[in-house]
Amino acid sequence: GAGVSQTPSNKVTEKGKYVELRCDPISGHTALYWYRQSLGQGPEFLIYFQGTGAADDSGLPNDRFFAVRPEGSVSTLKIQRTERGDSAVYLCASSLGPAQETQYFGPGTRLLVL
Amino acid sequence: TQLLEQSPQFLSIQEGENLTVYCNSSSVFSSLQWYRQEPGEGPVLLVTVVTGGEVKKLKRLTFQFGDARKDSSLHITAAQPGDTGLYLCAASRSGGSYIPTFGRGTSLIVHP
């Protein structure tokens, strides 16, 4: 079956621009997670959705970052007024439910802010 | 501060050698996970350890959870080039949902 997919695979933008990153979770998975992975680091939690609602957004670094999941499936991570420090790989993962320890990761979107 | 400390950070070895990587913390965890991440891909879960002192084997990989549930190790026997990748340990922050906190990882290269 299809795994978690993320688009685009690569995104180059200029400082100050707005970007949207998309995640398609595994069908039937109610929990969806966004992480950011900088070079030489492990993934860092950003936000977690259970269904349509953001159950935990404590990892979002500031108010330039926002994510939605309006129908409980596809999610979009939105970054306003991008900064060079936002350059990283943005990973999405999904799981069957909130207490499920097995998360399935997508390949990530590599964001480069010039 | 890093909740999970992984060592070594980098490891470059020849095919057939054995190796051990470590994941240490001052915190006690209810469970700990190991992932492998290949270039251009997301992490893939290898194993979850739950019980202090637990040992799990996955082919040539042996995972151990410390008795005090603060640390873990991953041992690879007779490494192969296909083992090349970033090995990450992760533990849940707490609460009813499972949100893992990751270590920095050990980057392993196995040369043929």
- Write the pLDDT tens digit of every residue in B43-56: 999 999 988 999 99
CA atoms within 13 A on the CB side of A75: 33
Instruction: Please answer yes or no on whether A107 and B43 come within 8 Å at the CB atom.
Output: no
Residues in chain B with CB shorter than 8 Å from the CB of A98 are: 96-98
Task: Name the residue of chain A whose CA is nearest to B99's CA.
Answer: A45
Assess A105–B contact: CB distance below 8 Å, yes or no. Answer: yes
Pick from B4, B31, B42: CB nearest A107: B42
pLDDT in tens, A89-112: 999 999 998 777 789 999 999 999
- The confidence band for B93, taking pLDDT boundaries of 50, 70 and 90, is low
pLDDT of res. B1: 47
From B41, B43, B98, residue closest to A43, measured CB to CB: B43
Residues 6+ apart with CB under 8 A from A42: B4, B88, B90, B102, B103, B104, B105
Q: What is the pLDDT of residue A93?
A: 96
Question: pLDDT band at residue B30, thresholds of 50, 70 and 90?
Answer: confident
d(CA B51, CA A94): 25
Nearest to A101 among B31, B40, B103 (CB): B31
The confidence score (pLDDT) of residue B99 equals: 82
Question: Span A77-95, mean pLDDT?
Answer: 97
Contact list, A106 vs chain B (CB under 8 Å): 42
Once rounded to an integer, what is the mean pLDDT over residues A18-32? 96
Q: Is A25 on the interface with B (CB under 8 A)?
A: no
CB of B43 less than 8 A from some CB of A: yes
Contact B97 A45 (CB under 8 A): no
pLDDT digits (tens, 9 = 90+) for A30-40: 999 999 999 98
Amino acid occupying residue A45: F
- Put simply, whether A107 touches B (Cβ < 8 Å) is yes
User: What is the separation, in whole angstroms, between the first and last Cα of chain A?
Assistant: 37
Share of chain B above pLDDT 90, in %: 78
B95 pLDDT band (50/70/90 cuts)? low
What rounded mean pLDDT belongs to chain A? 94
**pLDDT, chain B, mean:** 92
- CB contact under 8 Å between A103 and B100, yes or no, is yes
Whether B24 and chain A come into contact, CB under 8 Å, resolves to: no
Provide the b/e sequence for A57-79 (b: ≥16 CB within 10 Å). eebbeeeebebebeeebebebeb
Give the β-pairing of A65-68 and A53-56.
Answer: unpaired
Residue pLDDT, tens place only, B14-27:
999 999 999 999 88
C-alpha angle B3-A47-B63 in degrees, rounded to nearest 5? 40
**Sign (positive/negative) of CA torsion B24, B46, A42, B100?**
negative
